[in-house]
Structure 1
């Protein structure tokens, strides 16, 4: 008879083995859980094995290109020749393009322990198209942290999430960019949940006319999973048009979420116009209500986000300054952002936070 050690100390066996007289339903449930656990473990092991094999192939190619005795004979055609030979002997998966990716895979991860087993080879093929090391590191960690599919990763890269996260921060320096590259979004402060702009291209709203607030809300509810992907990791939908019963008035918050990493409710107010200071008082009231009536003892203070089409940064600074609650104003766009414009905004943000070097006096004042 097989012992518990031989079949593994999985949760399925622990639950089943702890019952002195298990029922047939207990048996079915335990078998299903054990098989699913084994399949998942086997899939993870197979994925890690594939990544290790491709990493090793990449390392071999690099070593050959540097020290191969007959490397001059093949020159730039090394990958072409190798692809033809390996396709004959090993079958599909060893095209010149794939071999090139394996080579780049090793060059960007020369220590295999830096490779994430949560990502598949198809993820890395997308990431290897990113030349910037910091940007590629950010997307790699966010994919592992959030469990993005390849399609979701591609969408986040197309929407320039890295640049939008930087653009939303009040202060940016080399260390904060390095932190994004090394761990992704840390979610330590409310501002870590912000992006500028918020990209809603998935709504497919035509350019003919701007939507009304009700239409925008309805469109977001119809695509709520994509909206939560855009909001960030760990966002859970609580409700729309959530009543805020303050006195005899009937106020309703447009959309309410819960951000698990921050352990905080997030109230979003939708404005299909430019930022107006009057919106701050409204959402501040909602946040005060949540602090008093909704928050549990383990919840952090709620966060308010005003989504608008445009904002004057100076007006927003005055309107949002001096508040006890964390309230942010962010613009949204119904199209993917303009790459050149967003990169220029990020550059200005970084430059504005660089330490200023005072000019050296060239003359001695009298």
Structure 2
């Protein structure tokens, strides 16, 4: 009898767990569906107001209709329809004019995400950040950080470098990488940097970008009876490649290329699996020595060099630095095509 009671209790516990999971999954689906429906509703409202104002070109009419509509909608449906919110809906519909794109994005982006994206002036940047949220299931807080740290501009630098190097690998990487979230202070060793990255692995992967997954730290390689250790090993799903990452405290040096080449050859021989492409390397340095990198033609050996910043400079200085790197990359590609 006792055994039957225990079995019944186990069955009941398992059933409760299964039903709880079903309830929670459904609740999550309802939340997502509600968010999507609300976002589409706000787009439709903005679209209809914009259309009405476009067809009735009297300026005085435009000034009157929004406050009047807001007063009635707010009275019937609540604070979501205050005048400033209606104007945001109009802005939303004006900036994202393709309803099908909005339908797709609304499955992952909440209205709060769109409110963060709307003030961005560059149309390409808007779609970039919207895609980032959709692809990486990014929170509103993480989205704000990506915008504040100029992720679009840093990816644009990589894109320009891709065009100048005739190598599409660079497209998947940024320059510089912003690692201010590691809170390292002024003095640290390479092992401290590595440990801090592992402690904040989720944030580090978010900074790396879409498609990266962590494989191993201090990857051991025995070559000619001697031990070598790669700092970090990742895998990139879209590229279908292992990504070897070496961390350097100082400025890039030419000898770093030889070290990374050795690691990549070893990984290609002993770790690459069927269906994978040749491993690539990312050398993260405090300073990247751009002329040396250009002369060494690192990209031809599947090696990318990028800077990392452990402290964010003041906003104005940061923007000037990013602008400078962009200008330098554009100048490089212009020189390339002028010489051809």
- What pairs with 1:59-78 in structure 2 (closer than 5 Å)? 59-68=47-56, 72=60, 75=63, 78=65
Mapped contact 2:162–2:169 kept (Cα < 8 A): no
Tell me whether 1:329 sits opposite 2:305 in the alignment.
Answer: yes
Of residues 165, 176, 182 in structure 2, which corresponds to 1:203?
182
Instruction: Extract unaligned runs of 5+ from structure 2.
Output: 1-10
Tell me whether 1:118 sits opposite 2:97 in the alignment.
Answer: no
* Cα distance in 2 between the residues matched to 1:321 and 1:305: 10
| 1:156 aligned partner | 146
* Cα distance in 2 between the residues matched to 1:272 and 1:355: 31
> How much does 1:146 deviate?
1.4
Q: Could you give the per-residue CA deviations for residues 177-226 of structure 1, whole angstroms, max 9, x where no partner exists?
A: xxxxxxxxxxx9432221111111111233xx342212211221221111
| 1:249 aligned partner | 226
Q: In structure 2, do the counterparts of structure 1 residues 322 and 131 end up closer, same or farther at CA, with 3 Å as the change threshold?
A: closer
* Cα distance in 1 between the residues matched to 2:90 and 2:299: 53
> How much does 1:336 deviate?
3.4
> How much does 1:106 deviate?
0.6
Mapped contact 2:288–2:307 kept (Cα < 8 A): yes
**RMSD after superposition:** 2.9
Q: Could you give the per-residue CA deviations for residues 291-345 of structure 1, whole angstroms, max 9, x where no partner exists?
A: 111111122211111111112222112334485x411111111233611331243
* Cα distance in 1 between the residues matched to 2:299 and 2:21: 53
> How much does 1:133 deviate?
0.6
- What pairs with 1:78-157 in structure 2 (closer than 5 Å)? 78-115=65-102, 116=105, 117-157=107-147
> How much does 1:352 deviate?
4.5
3-state DSSP of counterpart to 1:152: helix
> How much does 1:266 deviate?
1.2
Which structure has more helix as a fraction of its residues? 2
Normalised to the residue count of structure 1, the TM-score between the two structures is: 0.78
More displaced stretch, 348-357 vs 216-225: 348-357
| 2:170 aligned partner | 191
- What pairs with 1:1-366 in structure 2 (closer than 5 Å)? 31-32=19-20, 34-68=22-56, 72=60, 75=63, 78-115=65-102, 116=105, 117-169=107-159, 170-172=161-163, 189-206=168-185, 209-321=186-298, 325-336=301-312, 338-350=318-330, 352-353=332-333
Q: In structure 2, do the counterparts of structure 1 residues 347 and 320 end up closer, same or farther at CA, with 3 Å as the change threshold?
A: closer
3-state DSSP of counterpart to 2:244: strand
* Cα distance in 1 between the residues matched to 2:176 and 2:72: 49
